[in-house]
Structure 1
Amino acid sequence: MKRKFGFKNQAYNEKLSSIPHNFAATHDEEKGVSELTIYGDIGESWFWDSTSAVDVDNALKQAGTNDIVVRLNSPGGSAFDGIAIYNRLKEHPGKVTIHVDGWACSAASIIAMAGDEVIMGTGAMMMIHEASNIVWGTKNDMRKVADMLEELEAGIVDVYMTKAKISREEITEQMNAETWFSALKAVEIGFATSTALTVEGKDESEEMTQMRAQMQAMQNKIDELTNQEPEKPTPVKQNRVVRLF
């Protein structure tokens, strides 16, 4: 059963609903790194497979003090599970690196904010929007839910503001408008630290810099040897031999 999304922009609905669920955790004690894969919906669901805060909590307990690498590709889901996963990752003692492999929408964008390093994959996107809920009942019931959603959104803005380079008011406006960020835009706004392309370019640049430094050092040594004046031979004092005939 494919999930239907209430996003204002329905252009990506089919692609988002086709993300297969995949939650996996591997632990490399030798390297001190644990990798978590979070693909698909966030939060407990009766209708489709999903990744809950409990799943992530159990995986982090098994990780111990390992550094954490999260592979994220999700349309979102439960804001409360997203917040719980965010806080659980933030409290983890090791470094947390999050790779947005495809999408980090809605609740998944909250999870992404937990990364000490957030790397947007080539072509990856991030989306933030208003919190929503399904409510049935009286006008007072609906008002209570609206008040709760406003409080929830205030907390979500708090999370975004831990990384955002713009004002709280601007973040709120972008949530209300449902804003989609490309990889570069996510870096520009502060939600991500780099893109896969800039990380690759940085590595290549560092290698080139090291090679240039080594070549320059060799050239300096050659120049030093070339410019040295040849040492003058030390005159040898010749002893006169007196021969008697």
Structure 2
Amino acid sequence: MKKFWKWTNLTESNPTERILTLNGTIAEESWFDDDITPQLFKSELNSCSGNITVWINSPGGDCVAAAQIYNMLMDYKGNVTVKIDGIAASAASVIAMAGNNVMMSPVSMLMIHNPATVAMGDHNEMQKAIEMLEEVKESIINAYEIKTGMSRAKLARLMEEETWMNAKKAVELGFADSIIEPDKKINEDEKEKNKASDSILFSRRAVSVALQNKLKSHYLANAGANTGTDITDLEKRLNLLKP
């Protein structure tokens, strides 16, 4: 079994704190319908008491595994601090929401999007897959809503648009509580430059729509001089590129 987590049970500076590192794909091997892997993680989690720091650098993975880890961390009696030092995307972002305190490196990213699956069969099977994904999305929104206090409608829209957040935007929206301060001193001028209003949120779908609107506006403004592809045909071609 290839483990995507690693425990450091004690540190010299703080012998009462354990460190959990989640690195890489969440549950690259079997987790769903597997009694061994979840139980192993839970037994290691509960093998000691005390506070835990969870370091996350993961592109995501199995939403079932993420849900169980989220629940285990939420149920843990000690304090759970989450630190994102690379990326917490997709399923990994759900796990991050279990932290009593969520901190992000100033160069890290957090991404949320709609759940996805692979399905085959007739239209009834496809409809079942759609309904399943809708329910999975609602369950994921539960975790985001508890952490951020944001409306479910806004969270659903952010997921629909596949939203990427840098540390400042994640703090601004409530997905994170603070930014990990670097050891190097930052003067007041630098801090002013790094204020929350400069935070960045990137939506893949919003960028695609904006590009199409700009192309359409440009074409209509220069309709008399254009002899190329009709705007309707161009829109059809661009729609084919949508996910």
Fold equivalence (TM over 0.5): yes
1:62 aligned partner, one-letter code: S
Query: Does 2:41 match 1:56?
Result: yes
SS at match of 2:77: coil
Name the structure 1 match of 2:6.
24
The CA distance in 2 between the partners of 1:54 and 1:33, in whole Å, is 22
Any conservation in 1 of the 2:58–2:92 contact (CA below 8 Å)?
yes
**How far is the alpha carbon of 1:45 from its aligned partner?**
1.9
The CA distance in 1 between the partners of 2:55 and 2:128, in whole Å, is 36
SS at match of 1:62: coil
Name the structure 1 match of 2:53.
69
The CA distance in 2 between the partners of 1:201 and 1:174, in whole Å, is 34
SS at match of 1:100: strand
The CA distance in 2 between the partners of 1:150 and 1:197, in whole Å, is 38
Matches within 5 A, 1:33-44: 33-44=17-28
Query: Does 2:140 match 1:159?
Result: no
SS at match of 1:94: coil
Q: Percent identity?
A: 37
**How far is the alpha carbon of 1:26 from its aligned partner?**
1.7
Query: Does 2:118 match 1:128?
Result: no
**How far is the alpha carbon of 1:119 from its aligned partner?**
0.6
Any conservation in 2 of the 1:53–1:82 contact (CA below 8 Å)?
no
Q: Which has the larger radius of gyration?
A: 1
Any conservation in 2 of the 1:135–1:145 contact (CA below 8 Å)?
yes
**How far is the alpha carbon of 1:200 from its aligned partner?**
8.4
The CA distance in 2 between the partners of 1:141 and 1:200, in whole Å, is 56
1:24 aligned partner, one-letter code: K
Query: Does 2:99 match 1:115?
Result: yes
The CA distance in 2 between the partners of 1:28 and 1:179, in whole Å, is 36
The CA distance in 2 between the partners of 1:32 and 1:43, in whole Å, is 28
1:97 aligned partner, one-letter code: T
2:98 aligned partner, one-letter code: A
Any conservation in 1 of the 2:4–2:27 contact (CA below 8 Å)?
no
**How far is the alpha carbon of 1:28 from its aligned partner?**
2.3
> What is the Cα-based RMSD across aligned positions, in Å?
2.6
Residues 13-49 of structure 1, C-alpha deviations (whole Å, 9 max, x = no match): xxxxxxxx85210212972211111100012526xxx
The CA distance in 1 between the partners of 2:38 and 2:111, in whole Å, is 20
The farther-off stretch of 29-38 and 111-120 is 29-38
1:169 aligned partner, one-letter code: A
Name the structure 2 match of 1:86.
70
- Scaled by the length of structure 1, the TM-score of the pair is 0.67
1:115 aligned partner, one-letter code: G
The unaligned stretches of length 5 or more in structure 2 are 31-36, 189-243
2:46 aligned partner, one-letter code: K
Residues 173-209 of structure 1, C-alpha deviations (whole Å, 9 max, x = no match): 000110001000110010111001389889x99xxxx
Q: How many residues align?
A: 179
The unaligned stretches of length 5 or more in structure 1 are 1-20, 47-51, 206-245
Name the structure 2 match of 1:179.
163
Name the structure 2 match of 1:168.
152
Residues 53-83 of structure 1, C-alpha deviations (whole Å, 9 max, x = no match): 44532320223x2111111000000011101
Any conservation in 2 of the 1:43–1:53 contact (CA below 8 Å)?
no
